[in-house]
Structure 1
Amino acid sequence: MGPADVHGPLWTGILLSASLLIVWSPLAAAQFTLDPSLQNMTPRESLAKPNISVSQSSVIEQRATVYFSCVTSDVNITIHWVFNNAFLVLQEGMHLSADGKTLTILTVQRKDSGPYQCEVRGFLQVQRSEPTFLDVYYGPDSVQVKLEPGLPSGEVVNVIENSTVNFWVETETHPLPDYSWFFPNGSVSSSIKRFTINAISREHEGLYRCLVSNSVTDLSLVGAVEVRVVGILKPHIVFPNLTLVENASSVSLTCQSGFQEVGVQWFLSSQPLLPSERLELSANNRTLAIHGLRRDDTGPYECEVWNLGNRARSDPVRLNISYGPDQVDITRDPASGAVSAVEAGLGSSLTLKCWAEAEPVAEYLWSFEHNASVSEQEQLVIEPLSWEHQGLYTCTAVNPLTRLTRSALVLVTVVGPQSSLSAGAIAGIVLGVLAVIALGTGLGYFLFTRMARRPSRNTREDPIQKKEKPTSEEHHPAESTSSWPKPVNDNVPGVQEQVRAKKMLPPVSPEHFYEIDLPSATGGSCSRDPGKVLPMYPSVPPRPKGNMESNYQVLVNPESSIYSHISSQA
């Protein structure tokens, strides 16, 4: 038992070594059965840089087939093709060999033009060839003659007289072609793609042709354009001849020009106009519609057109928009504001001005009191002022286009100097006049009655007779004659029976007197109707006591009138 225990670990080590040997034996056998081509390659050997060979590097589009070959001495590699620095994706008309070394383009297109490379990949290594360029010739394609900024060929182009016009050709071709221009006057110019005519005139009108030739592809094409030279046609704005009223009208403005294909820009007060809710532009900007006109939409409006690099702007247009009248103001002078009542002195001059904002200028009508027309002017002048001029004046402003009217009122008061007579003096004058009327009427009736009662001729010869005794039939005049006029005031003296006159005072007719208003209760002034100018009848001096004959003589004496008597009293 002892010897066995001592040698136990030794046998364990031997068995473990045998097991490891059995496991590694297949790996060693596999290493010696690898590809014989790799047995001679050491890990430090690198891949060689490949090269490309091409059947032809310059070809005409759609006329050739091109073969690309990747040349390399390395084996056990993979090959990839690169076009324009990107891995090539095979397109229709391309073919790749089984080993990847040959690339074939059956029908070359212009899109196949560019740099080609082949890339080889080995054991942990990559190598890429130098680029080989394939040049594909093509064109010319369709040729277009243009006038900057460019119009399709074959069209008729209008150019503005005295403007600068640039001609040039658009085409697709490779390599660069040859150009030959044929001008309307028969001249020919070669080897230019672009030319310029300064200050073009009607002599330059006609057909311009350009022949484009590709010497490699042996292809040629012609482009042409017809040029017409027109005068400078300044655009103008057209709008309907209508009466435009604020908040009641819309209008359309049209920009007209001699050119069909032009750009249009509108300007309002020299600033570019932008569309809004009330300003609407048509699709080609030729028409501007303004809805719900306001008084500040008058403009000015302009339109600008451009074509072939040339611009022209129309004359400004303003719209006549009717509005108002607004509030009516009556003023007395330019420095004062609106007034509703004025005072002016008797005999002075009064000027009233009526004004209201309106377009067109309003028409004015002044009326006084009961709609009596007094003026159809903006300004009303009253001179000289009298009592009849005071009252209520109305000014009416009328706009015949908007059919609107507005009015304002002003009260005119006339003021004058007060009378120098007191209220008592004026009352005395009135009573005196009434007394004269009563006295004259009664005396005339008394004398007429006595003359009528004289029966005899002798009596008529002696006009004055004394009666010794009054009969019972004769009565005192104051008692027997009850039909005599009663005096206006009780303080006017009555007629005495013993009064005898040398000259008879003729009866006074009521038509010889004027109506007089009683004096005002206010002292020192006389109130009267301002509508009538009534001369005041003079007062009569109080009747003195004593003989009446002298008094009647005074009345009938023309040199000593009552007016002079009143003047002396005053």
Structure 2
Amino acid sequence: MESADLRGHRWAGIPLSASLLTVWSLAAAAQISRDAINQKPLAKPTISVSQGRVIEHRENVTFYCDTPDVNITIHWVSNHQPLPSHERIQLSTDGKTLTIFTVQRVDAGTYQCEAWGVLQVKSSDPTYLIVYYGPDPVTIKLEPGIPNGDTVEVMEGSNVTFLAETESCPQASYSWFFPNDSKPITSLFLNMSNVTIHAVSKEHEGTYKCLVSNTATQLSLLGALKVRVLERLTKPYIMLPNWTLVEDTSLVVLTCQTTHEGVGVQWFLGDQLLLPSEHLVPDNRTLVIHGLRRNDTGPYACEVWNWGSRARSEALKLNISYGPDRVYFTRGSETLADNTIRAELNSRMILQCWAESQPDAEFNWTYDNTSVCKGEQLVIEALTWKHQGNYSCTASNSVTLLTCSASVMVSITGHQSSLSVGAIAGITVGILAVIALAIGLGCFLHTGNAKGLSRRTTEDTVYENTTPTSEEGHPEEFGHNWPMPVYANVPATQGQIPIKKMLPVDPPEQLYEESPSTIHGGYSRGPRKPSSKLALHPLVPTLQKENAESNYEVLVNPELSVYCQINRPT
């Protein structure tokens, strides 16, 4: 263990050491101050350079810092920054000589040397180094313009400016070559890096060149730009195939025709952009339709466009032929669901044959496999027993060459007689009595007046029970060998009693004609008074002339008392 005396001596030595250090520091500082006061101020160094203008990549340059001071250090500054050290820079041992090998454009600028003394620094005036370079490769821009590959496109009628861009020191001179020119344009565009052309037209298309030259480096480079002038787009049109479009055609191709080159083409269905599908395939200037359908009518349009203009064709609808489809029968406003029609005797019947078809189908009616007439509507003004049977309608399309048929059976029903059996018997007995009386009276008159009767002229001939002439009508046309009532009023001759002869009536209900109607027409079916017109003339309408109000053409079959109506477009 250390004694108390020893510890006392050690603590006494520490203040003494501190006092000695303080005295020495003050003495050293005083000595430095005396040296600084006794040192002379540094002189301003100067710089000399081997050449102040050099050509890039061709020459070297040497700087020398001159100063009379000794015991100094030389530092170099470039563009107000410490000179970086790299392989192209070399300094002498004393630092006063700076050499730059293979000068580059980055070496251009101001250079200074600094003389550093103990407590002083002196800088030289800046010395400038100019480095000539270029021209670099030339780039020609065109505004406004849109690059498209190696070509720049401009719109017809616009004002465009050519701009040549390059790096060069000193500033380069420019000579422009326009398309089809063999000499550069120097008088107007000398030393101008840009050129403006107003109202560009197709004549300005071609390759533009610019020759850029540097008089210091004796270098020249040529830049070029190919220009295409886009015309203002005009409407294209759609070209159809040169054959008739028929449903289920395997392939149909529509072509967008335009006089413009290098334009984009897109297709529209209505107002919607048409996107590719398995059925419709737009492929630039063509639209391919696979398996044409009847609802592919469109409208279609194609549009040509470029970056500054666009034009769309007129909308086109396709005329697609199809059908005929299934044949339907209509009667009035109803479609027949059954293939049998029951109609009353003497009623009016109209059958409509209809089938979906483009173009409109042509209709041919047959009755029991016998052709009746042509037209959409089969009209029978007054049904008779002979109209009963099977009616067929065949629809045909002259373009698709397709046909479709359907048949309907017409069954005729008649009214029961409104007279009782006793009334009919009474009428028959009365008629026989009248006939007998007439015969007896005729015999008496013949016996008493034989001489007078022999002198009768042909004009006074008594009408006998003869068959009615064609003017009186043909009752056989109303049924199969069913006689129709025919009234023959025999005029009375002088001295004779008029004789009324009547053909037998069978069946009696044929004395009445039912009001014109159809089964579904809602018309009254009550009996009407006997008509001498009905009895004397067959129900064959005289309708060969065109009906201007209904726009129908009427074709008549006189043999069957049937006619057809063909709808004509208004």
The two structures have a TM-score, normalised by structure 2, of 0.50
Q: TM-score with structure 1 length normalisation?
A: 0.50
Computing the radius of gyration over CA atoms, which structure comes out larger, 1 or 2? 1
